[in-house]
Structure 1
Amino acid sequence: MAKGKDGKTVVESLGGFLREQRLASRLSLRQLSEQVGVSNPYLSQIERGLRRPSAEVLQQIAKALRISAEQLYVRAGIVSPAEHVGATVELAILADAGLTERQKQSLLDVYSSFLALNAGQDPEATQHMEK
């Protein structure tokens, strides 16, 4: 398996990240497994880095945890960060070793909300605000 900068395999770091996000969401392993539609032991194996989930399972986990599925795909090694030319801000945040996982998620949430806010505005109003 591919090793990351910290010496952990991609699956181990993904599992740790998922556990951190689950705990931050105040969900038990059983609650998350029910929401995702997988067994409790299978989800536990994913968190411990013993199993590599499919993209479909990751998508369901992301939905249940209310986080970006793309973020999980990159962490799981399913999608290469280089493939996301337009996602440089998100990938830079994810790659920053100086931030905790919770801080990274907070920054991603703020960035996403700004993009959504700007997408709903009139382009001329946005230009006036920049001047």
Structure 2
Amino acid sequence: MASLNVGNLGEYLREQRRSAQLSLRQLADAAGVSNPYLSQIERGLRKPSAEVLQQVAKALRISAETLYVRAGILDEKERDELETRAVILADPSINERQKQVLLQIYESFRKENDFETLSHADADVDADVDGSGSDARPKQSPPSS
């Protein structure tokens, strides 16, 4: 069987399992998956579904989002956003209204920064197209008469 691009995930799962001092069989039982299937995931031969990753994460008591990123299901930016929201919602020192306001402010900052990033990227593309980019040669003015 050819190795899929999930070796990083498999290695990470193996490290987490060993840190938790669980055998492959113990983790498989706790996650509700077969021992051979979990072994194939650890060796990078199988790509697990999000559901399986969630079960494994729960059994290891680690973030499912981290496994999703390593498996290529979720990108780093999405994970950071989800984790930030989870931390805000889990904070017992602020009330529900404050949590909602904080989430709205957080979302508005993210939108503003995404817009700025897109605007800068569009400006760079426009500069390259019209020749005014950083690698373009300066235009010479026509000779005066």
Q: Say whether the fold is shared (TM-score over 0.5).
A: yes
Residues 1:20 and 2:18 are matched in the alignment: no
- The residue that corresponds to 2:47 in the other structure is 52
Q: Please state how far the C-alpha of 1:82 moved relative to its aligned partner.
A: 3.0
Q: Is the 8 A contact 2:6 2:45 kept in 1?
A: yes
Q: Distance in 2 between matches of 1:81 and 1:69?
A: 13
Q: 1:121 aligns with which of 69, 72, 93?
A: 93
Q: Deviations over 1:80-117 (max 9, x none)?
A: 1233462588xxxxxxxxxxxxxxxxxxxxxx8xx47x
Q: Is the 8 A contact 1:62 1:72 kept in 2?
A: yes
Q: Is the 8 A contact 1:32 1:64 kept in 2?
A: yes
Identity of aligned residues (%): 59
Q: Deviations over 1:9-30 (max 9, x none)?
A: 6400000000000000000000
- Point out which structure has higher relative CO (alpha carbons under 8 A, 6+ apart): 1
Kindly tell me the number of residue pairs found equivalent between the two proteins. Answer: 92
- The residue that corresponds to 1:72 in the other structure is 67
Q: Is the 8 A contact 2:65 2:79 kept in 1?
A: no
Highest CA radius of gyration, 1 or 2? 2
Residues 1:30 and 2:2 are matched in the alignment: no
- Using a 3 Å threshold, how does the CA distance of structure 1 residues 122 and 41 change in structure 2: closer, same or farther? closer
Q: CA RMSD for the aligned pairs? A: 2.7
Note the residue ranges of structure 2 that are not aligned, 5 or more in a row.
Answer: 96-145
- Using a 3 Å threshold, how does the CA distance of structure 1 residues 85 and 45 change in structure 2: closer, same or farther? closer
Q: Deviations over 1:26-68 (max 9, x none)?
A: 0000000011111111100000000000000000000000000
Note the residue ranges of structure 1 that are not aligned, 5 or more in a row.
Answer: 1-7, 90-111, 124-131
Normalising by the residue count of structure 2, what TM-score does the alignment of the two structures yield? 0.55
The aligned amino acid for 2:56 is I
